């Protein structure tokens, strides 16, 4: 069972990583090398959080948190590719904010309500159609 203390600690870790990264990389130049450092370090922080998640969370909540962190790693790689392709950062910024909010919402949805079909922040609806619930 995931306690509220563990959920709050995981949420605080995510927010600390996000704001700490913004503070630490705020001085980087707007060059391909600077943005590679920005996106690479963000992906590295996500990877560290991905490996730390099982120490705080258990079961499907841990798996969902890890899926969202993997999506963030892929999003950071895509963000750097979009930067190199001279695409506006608006899509990347919105994607990362939505991903962060989805992560925080998933952390604070109580487990006893996580199997309702309309609560599919991370899992696809087809997952609920059968009688098997992992």
Q: 42 pLDDT exceeds 70?
A: yes
Beta-carbon neighbour count of residue 124 at 10 Å? 8
Tokens of 20: 């700490």
Mean pLDDT across the chain: 85
Instruction: Give dist(CA 27, CA 84) in Å, integer.
Output: 19
How would residue 4 be classed by pLDDT, with cut points 50, 70 and 90?
confident
Predicted TM-score of the model (pTM): 0.80
* pLDDT at residue 111, rounded to an integer: 59
């Amino acid at each position: 069972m995931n306690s509220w203390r563990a959920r709050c600690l995981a949420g605080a870790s995510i927010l600390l990583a996000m704001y700490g990264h913004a503070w630490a990389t705020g001085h980087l130049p707007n060059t391909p090398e600077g943005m590679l450092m920005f996106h690479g370090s963000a992906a590295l922080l996500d990877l560290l959080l991905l490996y730390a998640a099982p120490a705080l969370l258990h079961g499907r909540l841990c798996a969902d948190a890890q899926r969202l962190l993997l999506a963030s790693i892929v999003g950071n790689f895509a963000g750097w590719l979009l930067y190199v392709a001279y695409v506006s950062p608006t899509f990347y910024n919105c994607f990362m904010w939505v991903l962060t909010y989805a992560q925080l919402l998933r952390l604070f949805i109580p487990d006893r309500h996580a199997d309702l079909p309309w609560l599919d922040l991370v899992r696809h609806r087809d997952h609920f159609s059968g009688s098997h619930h992992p």
